[in-house]
Amino acid sequence: MKDGFAETPGELCPDCTAGPARENVRVAGGTPYEIWHTSDCPEWTVMQISLEAGSRRIKEQDAWAKELFPTVHERLKQAAETLPPDSPAQPFVDALTELVQAQADTTGFVVLHRWVEILERHFPPRLPDLDNVTE
């Protein structure tokens, strides 16, 4: 590193051919990769527009899902109630219903240890049948 910049410029932008400089923008990602752009570079502008559009799409999807989630969650619970209690599908339905409730109770994702707790409760390990063990 020299003066805070990489000594090799990485790839040159085909539009602006910018290199390391305080007035340029550095984009880095993945394995050792960097490319520099001038602030008025068309490629840099397209990248910014794409990032903003993606961010907007994610916010719209999140708002849609938050609005609709209670309704579809209620439909799931109603459908689960229609199954006979002795149905072979009951453990699957109960686990799914509990996992969806766990998701409803959090603002993020249901963490892995919570998944395991729920699945372990509905699908406990089968213990060997000691009455039928032959030696």
- The pLDDT tens digits of the residues spanning 83-127 come to 987 889 999 999 999 999 998 888 778 999 999 999 999 998 887
Asked whether residue 130 carries a pLDDT value surpassing 80, the answer given is no
pLDDT of residue 134: 67
User: Can you tell me which residue has the tokens 């209670």?
Assistant: 70
Segment 39-79, tens digit of pLDDT = 889 988 998 999 999 999 999 999 998 899 899 999 999 99
pLDDT of residue 74: 92
